[in-house]
Amino acid sequence: MVESEILKIPGIGKKAAKTLEDCGFNTIEKITKSNAEELSQLPGIGKVTAEKIIDGAKEIQKAAVPAKKAPAKAPAKKAPAKAPIKVTTKKPIPKPKILKPEVKDDSPLPSVKKTPVKTQVTIIKPEISPATKIAIQKTPHFPKIKKKRVTKKKKPAKKKTISKTYGVINNVVHDKIGKSKNRSAVMKLYDLEFPLEKYLGRKVTVTFPKSNKQIIGTITRIHGKRSSIDKTVIVRFKQGISPHILTAKGKIQ
């Protein structure tokens, strides 16, 4: 019976060596290339024993490899002999010529008066025949037409909507101030479109029944306590009114 290489590893028995050979790890090189995890998966070998087997195989592999000899030094090459330097007589370099700076004359030049050259211009007048003169005299003279100013068109004024409501004056109100002419009158309204409060401040044109004279007044306040039944308001005028205004009709604007 030939002993296997694996038995040379310290700390390995025959059973462990047989399991390693059966699983393909029959040489020391294969064991060194393997890992402890791979060997620990084999039956009967733990992780600690696997690490010991790998370390022992590496030591045997190091001992088997002979120490490498240092390479012999190559003989030093001799430097090539330098060629003799030829000494040649150099020609003297000519010195550069020093140029003298030019002296500028800053003195002003003598002023030369320029004589203007006169050019004669001959105007040639066209000769007008007598027939053209008569034709020019006969042509009518048209005055210059001024341009019309563009004026902006004024917007048409809004038409005042006259209310349907009208009133009739029943009585003249005497002023408390004691003036000679009264300026207020009581008017009863008909065909109301709005409540009486909304008619306050609106203007009324009153026409006299006989003379057809017109007076403009404004509704100042509601008259009486029964305003919802009577529908009467007080109209104030700028000028004095006479009793002839009674039964006069007024249109509310």
- Give dist(CA 91, CA 105) in Å, integer: 43
- Where helices occur in the chain by DSSP H, the ranges are 14-22, 28-33, 36-40, 47-64, 130-138, 227-230
The confidence score (pLDDT) of residue 236 equals 92
Residues sharing a CB contact under 8 Å with residue 160, sequence separation 6 or more, in sequence order: 253
The confidence score (pLDDT) of residue 206 equals 92
Q: How far is CA 24 from CA 19, 20, 34, 51, in A?
A: 9, 6, 11, 18
Asked whether 40 and 50 are in contact (CB, 8 A), the reply is: yes
- Give dist(CA 136, CA 145) in Å, integer: 21
The confidence score (pLDDT) of residue 203 equals 93
The confidence score (pLDDT) of residue 205 equals 92
Phi, then psi, of 194 in degrees rounded to 5: -130, 170
CA 51 to chain centroid, in Å, comes to 74
Percent of the chain with pLDDT over 70: 69
Per-residue pLDDT of 212-248, as tens digits, reads 889 999 999 988 777 667 789 999 998 888 888 888 9
Q: So where are the chain's domains? A: 5-64, 166-252
CA 66 to chain centroid, in Å, comes to 83
241: three-class secondary structure by DSSP:
strand
The confidence score (pLDDT) of residue 103 equals 59
The confidence score (pLDDT) of residue 70 equals 46
- Which CATH code for domain 166-252? 2.40.10.190
Structure token pair of residue 184: 């207020």
The confidence score (pLDDT) of residue 1 equals 43
- Give dist(CA 188, CA 167) in Å, integer: 5
Q: The pTM is what?
A: 0.35
What phi-psi label fits residue 167: left (phi over 0), alpha (psi between -120 and 50 degrees) or beta?
A: beta
Q: How far is CA 109 from CA 113, 115, 163, 220, in A?
A: 12, 18, 103, 104
Asked whether 175 and 182 are in contact (CB, 8 A), the reply is: yes
Residues sharing a CB contact under 8 Å with residue 47, sequence separation 6 or more, in sequence order: 36, 37, 40
The confidence score (pLDDT) of residue 162 equals 59
Per-residue pLDDT of the chain (253 residues; tens, 9 = 90+): 446 777 788 777 788 888 888 888 888 888 888 888 887 888 888 888 888 888 888 888 888 765 444 454 555 555 555 555 555 555 667 666 666 666 565 666 666 666 767 777 777 767 778 888 888 888 776 666 777 777 777 777 766 555 788 899 988 887 665 555 678 899 999 988 888 888 999 999 999 888 888 999 999 998 877 766 778 999 999 888 888 888 899 998 8
The CATH H-level (homologous superfamily) assignment of domain 5-64 is: 5' to 3' exonuclease, C-terminal subdomain (1.10.150.20)
